[in-house]
Structures are given as C-alpha cells and as structure tokens.
Structure 1
Amino acid sequence: MAKELALIGCGNMGTAMLKGIVGSGLVAAQDVTVADVSETSQQRLAGELGCQGTCDNSEAVAGAKSIIIAVKPQYLDGVVKAFAPSVDKDAVIISIAAGVSLERLEGLLGADHKIVRVMPNLAAMVGESMSALCPNDNVTEAEREGVHELFCAFGKAEFIPEHLMDAVVAVSGSAPAYVCLFIEAMADAAVIEGMPRAQAYAMAEQAVLGTAKYLQETGTHPAVLKDMVSSPAGTTIAAVAELERGGLRATVVDAMLACAERNRELA
C-alpha cells in the first residue's frame, strides 16, 4: 500500500520536522513510516505521533510518495545505497545532509530520480526553522510546491540555486550557534553587573527574539533600527562603538566564511 511519507533518521532534526508536518495536518500520522537503526528512537517517535515504525529503511521507503533522509552526512552513502533499490521511481527524495550535493545524491540514487537538497536549522524544534530548498530538474512544479509546503509546516522555506548552499549553511543552518554565543555573552555581562543568571538569560533571549520579530514584521533595515535605538551620546551608541572596536562585524564575517568553506570540504 502506498504511503505519503517516509522519514529515515529519528534524531533531533528528523523528529522536529515530522512533528511539525504531522501537527500541521499536512500528512496524517497513519500515512507516515519512520525508520531508525535505534529501535528505541523509532518506537518512541512512532508511538508519540501514532505513525508506523521500523528499523528496516527499505521497508520504510517502499511505496512512499515522499522520503526525507535525515541522517548525518558521514552515514548517508551507506544508508542510501542500501535502500535505493526499494525507492519508487516517482518518489520525491529529500535530503537534509549538510554538504551533500545533488550530484552526489544522484550518483547514489540514480540521475532519473526526483531529488531535493534541503538545509533546515534546529529552530524547527519550535516551528521556526529557515529552510533552503534546492530541487533537481526532475522535480515538477507541483512537487516543488508540495515540498515547500512540507517545510513551511515548521518555519519558513525558500528555493535557492545550489551554488548558494554554502552561504545558506553559514547564514542560516549554523546560525543558532552564533546567536547562542551572543546571548551567552550578553547574559554574562548582566551577571557581572549583579543580575541573577536565569533572569539575565531570559532578558537576553527576549531581546534577540523581539528584535528579529520587529525586523521581520516591519521590513525595517537592521542599520535603521540600530540608529533608532542609538541616541546621541547615549548608552547604546557607547556599546556599539565598543563592539566595532572589538571587530564584531569582521569576526562574524570570518566565522561565516569558515563555515561555508568547511561545507565545501564536506561535499
């Protein structure tokens, strides 16, 4: 019997994505099969959502209309080669493995398959992922729209050309780590000033969340908002000047370029 969706890999990202997809009502739980080498992991997710679970990837993908591969890049080749013979020729195969190109995926699955390379981020766990979608030429317009809808179930999604995927990993995929470092530093400073640690984190987190939401909802340029907050001879401009002296911009750029380069090395 044909099923709508198979998920290969029940780690943090796979679990977060599937919860968003099923929770949105896009795909009914009974039309989903999850697979993982860990029987505990697949049974936990299957039990929580009410979908089917298995440790056999080939069983999971057989007859599935869409397949999401959510395994780490170092395991991808072996996993895909093992289940590839069981994939339906019309299935849309979605990979979220960082650094793995469409060309490499086509080499594993066959160039005639419908394949979409995707880079989400861990904010999928709270329904706020930013996902970049890159389909190969075999994916139809209707299928592109279907994949876009799936990834919008747990955040936002945009189509990009594959040559920009290294930039996507740097600006979005790995971004939660940079933001967390900044929040940590803000909280540390507040603690130095005498604020309790929990309160410092709560204030720093809300400041970042509120700023991002303001920019999204108003379309204001970040530089404009920075200028709005920075009164002449005020406290904010003093902090901004110190960040500039410390080379914040250059450090962020260098870090993101290093991230993009590492992604190229993994390809």
Structure 2
Amino acid sequence: MSESQALLRVEDLHARHALPAVPAWGGLLHRRRWLPAVDGVSFALARGEALGLIGESGCGKSTLASVLARLADPLSGRLLFDGIDLATVRAGQAAEAPWRHRIQMVFQDPYESLDPRRSAFDAIADPLRRLAAFDGAALRECVLQTARRVQLGDELLARRPHQLSGGQAARVGIARALAPAPELLILDEPTAALDVSVQAGLLALLAGLRRELGLAILFISHDLGVVRLLCERVLVMRAGRIVDEGAPQALFERPRHPYTAELAAAVPRFPAAA
C-alpha cells in the first residue's frame, strides 16, 4: 500500500490498561499494576477500505480502538492519520484538534454510550454543535438527513434511549458518528448485543454507507463470521499482538495461525441445499 493510498498507518504501537489497587497483607495497598494491552501493533488502513479486527475478549481490541480514536493515550508508537501523527496530541486535548471530526467511533453498547436524559435528536446534534458549529435550521436539517441515512424514522428522534429498541439505539450511535462527516469510522463490536436478523440489517446498512460516503472502516469483533460479511481484509489479534492477516475468505478456509483456525472453527457451517 502506497503512502497516498493509506489513510491511517499504525507503527509499533504499545498501550496498557491498569488493574485497580488491591489490599495487601497488613492493610497496605499494592501499587497499581499495569497490564500490556497492545504490544507492538503495526498495520495500515487505506482510504475507503473496510478492515476487520478480530480476537477474543481481553486481547486488546477495545484498548486499541480507544487509542486510535484518541480517547486514550499510547505508551509509544506512531499513529499517522493522513500524515499527521495523532500520538503527539494527548487524549484530553484531542477534542479540540482540527482533525477531530475526521475520526469518529461507534461504541459496543449504544445504551451505555447514549445519555439517558437526552433525545436521539440531541445525541446526533451534539457533535454537529461541538465540531461543526451548526445551529438553528441548518442543525435540524443535518440531523434529519443523517437520521434518514441510517434508516431512522423522524418520529424516533424525540425518544430517549430507553424508548428505543436495540437496533434503533445502534442506528442513533452510527448517526451520531456520521454527523460530522468523518473519513474513518471505528466500530467496536456494534452488533454484538443484537439478534441475528437485526445484526444482518445493520451490517448491510454499514456496507451501503461505506460505498455511498467513501468511508474507511475499522470493524472490531470477536466473530470472524460477522467480519467477513463486511470487510475486505482482516487482522487477527491475540494477547495484544497481530498474529495473522489476510482476506477473510482465505483466513476462513486456509488459516495460517493456530488461533485463526480456532476462530474459523467456531463459525457455524450450514450444509448446502439439496
């Protein structure tokens, strides 16, 4: 992949998360212990590409996503987004960076990520107010257009999260991320809590949005079967490292790493119709 094709280049990225301090013998506290979560990860993502990242729970996928979205800081390494090293900006300052609107994230649990006191309209409008200075009629029109783009009915925009189904809440989360017109969308297991039929509809929606908007997508999941429906290329992560990479069908049929073979074996196979 040439420099001109790459939207994002991750180079030797290291990150960690902390375990809480625990009581020790004598009533003293152990020092906070740090665990490696991302251990020397490198990869590139092309403009408009759909890249999957799969691995078991606890392997570092969500930590990596948070670092890439600049919600958490790496220990070391480079995050080159369109030639800009995002790692030089602390997570606490990223909200004010001029590139903030270009990278957006969709979280795993829409109910947890949406403010229960605010309507779906407000959730979608918030990044437009903060990142694009929209207000008044222009704000309302952009919210309506974005909601319709994710197939969310106008009548649902006045509802709060608890009044929405899981699929509807997930669409609000996607609309919120799309509102400021990003170039890179990071999705952290956005379909994990949905039933199979709703999951399929959401994957089809994401595929259509990617084609329509020219989005680059990093789709994170523990399920190779889900990722291969959306992504052109897949990274396999285990214990903080990328252990395999390739086209999803090739990884599914001819896995190179034993762990990839385990993931492929877990995908249901249905007999061909007679």
Instruction: Calculate the TM-score normalised by the size of structure 1.
Output: 0.27
Greater relative contact order (Cα < 8 A, sep 6+): 2
More strand by share: 2
More helix by share: 1
Structure ID, larger Rg:
1
